[in-house]
């Protein structure tokens, strides 16, 4: 941070050449905060793992019953749908990068996304976005700044779109108190939050902090980004509702209610600093929203934890399959 030069005397000149206490203190405090955040995140994950283990041990009979009663067809359908959701998720990045003036294809983004999926399980921060960005930088030559802007944009728009949509759905099905006044306020707030003027201002502020210029984005380009994001969240939430249909213990949960609860709980999970991918926070939110009308909260928690395992299986399978396909294609391309 620059300070105004109030004097040209030798003393003041020597003083101005020395490190400023406020700047050095701020710069030294950032690594300290980051280090404590990493420690806190690891402590949180360790405590969450212990808590889950305790729940599983205490409810061992319930675990066996939930698994044995599962309807395999619904589980397979949910697994397939979760695999398909990689495409609209990649579409969000594709449209956002194009809106920022970058040349990239959907195939390049899908490939980078698939290969980066295991990075979601490194408990040190935004590793998935970092890994996907690094792969896109290598494959398409996209700069670090546009990739960082898109990662920030995706998180901000996801919270706005999924959170607001989830609130509206839950209000319409009666889980939250419905009032057309505040529902209209939520919808209007969502439209304003994702509009180009507001988003452009936020991204422009970020761009100025890294000393770069941000290209102007049109309403059409922005509509494509929000549209891709809406498709992704619609498919992801329906996938979760289909997954719940596999378990008799969740039969009392209406399909639309499961969709709204998933959107809202996952949006809240995005805001949890200590929880990678909202782990634990989203599940707690789902229990709070869905464990009503006599449903067993402990069984629902086990089912929700199982959905995480389904996503882990999905991610590792897709990543492994993508690497195999790329290795098989490389010799053929070199021969051709």
Residue 300 lies in a domain: yes
Residue 8 lies in a domain: no
Q: Distance (Å, rounded) from C-alpha 147 to C-alpha 334? A: 30
Q: What is the pLDDT of residue 187?
A: 67
Does residue 176 contact residue 186 with C-beta atoms inside 8 Å? no
Residue 269's closest CA among 283, 288, 285, 282? 282
pTM: 0.79
Residue 228 lies in a domain: yes
Residue 147 lies in a domain: yes
Residue 329 lies in a domain: no
Residue 9 lies in a domain: no
Neighbours of 19 (CB within 10 A): 9
Cα–Cα distances (Å) from 139 to 117, 142, 147, 227, in that order, read 16, 8, 13, 25
Q: What is the pLDDT along the chain (336 residues), one digit of tens a residue?
A: 444 444 444 444 444 444 444 444 444 565 676 677 777 777 767 777 787 787 777 877 777 777 888 899 999 999 999 999 999 999 999 999 998 888 899 999 999 999 999 998 876 667 888 999 999 999 888 988 888 888 888 888 888 889 888 988 988 887 776 665 566 676 677 667 666 667 667 666 666 665 555 566 667 877 888 889 999 999 999 999 999 999 998 888 999 999 999 999 998 888 877 777 777 788 888 988 887 766 778 888 889 989 999 999 999 999 999 999 998 887 655 555
CA dihedral sign, ordered 52, 55, 59, 60: positive
Question: How many domains in the chain?
Answer: 1
Ramachandran angles phi, psi of 291, nearest 5°: -80, 65
Tokens of 131: 């890994």
Q: What is the pLDDT of residue 206?
A: 62
| Domain extent at residue 87 | 34-323
Residue 210 lies in a domain: yes
Neighbours of 54 (CB within 10 A): 10
Q: What is the pLDDT of residue 146?
A: 86
Residue 20 lies in a domain: no
């Amino acid at each position: 941070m620059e300070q105004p030069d109030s004097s040209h005397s030798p003393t003041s000149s020597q003083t101005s050449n020395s490190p400023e206490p406020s700047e050095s203190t701020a710069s030294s405090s950032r690594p300290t905060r980051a280090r404590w955040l990493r420690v806190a995140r690891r402590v949180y994950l360790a405590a969450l793992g212990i808590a889950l283990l305790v729940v599983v041990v205490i409810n061992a009979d319930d675990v066996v019953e939930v698994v044995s009663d599962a309807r395999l067809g619904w589980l397979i359908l949910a697994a397939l749908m979760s695999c398909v959701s990689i495409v609209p998720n990649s579409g969000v990045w594709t449209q956002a990068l194009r809106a920022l003036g970058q040349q990239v294809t959907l195939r390049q983004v899908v490939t980078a996304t698939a290969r980066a999926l295991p990075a979601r399980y490194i408990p040190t921060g935004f590793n998935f976005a970092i890994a996907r960005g690094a792969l896109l930088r290598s494959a398409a030559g996209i700069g670090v700044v546009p990739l960082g802007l898109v990662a920030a944009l995706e998180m901000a728009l996801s919270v706005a779109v999924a959170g607001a949509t989830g609130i509206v759905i839950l209000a319409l099905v009666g889980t939250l108190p419905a009032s057309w006044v505040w529902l209209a306020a939520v919808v209007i707030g969502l439209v304003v939050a994702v509009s180009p003027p507001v988003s452009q201002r936020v991204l422009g502020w970020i761009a100025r902090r890294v000393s770069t210029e941000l290209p102007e984005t049109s309403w059409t380009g922005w509509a494509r980004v929000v549209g891709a994001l809406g498709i992704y969240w619609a498919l992801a939430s329906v996938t979760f509702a289909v997954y719940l249909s596999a378990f008799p213990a969740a039969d009392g949960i209406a399909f639309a209610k499961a969709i709204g609860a998933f959107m809202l709980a996952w949006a809240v999970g995005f805001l949890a600093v200590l929880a990678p991918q909202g782990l634990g926070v989203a599940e707690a939110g789902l229990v709070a929203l869905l464990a009503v009308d006599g449903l067993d909260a402990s069984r629902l928690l086990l089912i929700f934890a199982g959905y995480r395992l389904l996503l882990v299986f999905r991610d590792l399978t897709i990543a492994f399959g993508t690497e195999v396909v790329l290795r098989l294609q490389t010799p053929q391309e070199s021969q051709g």
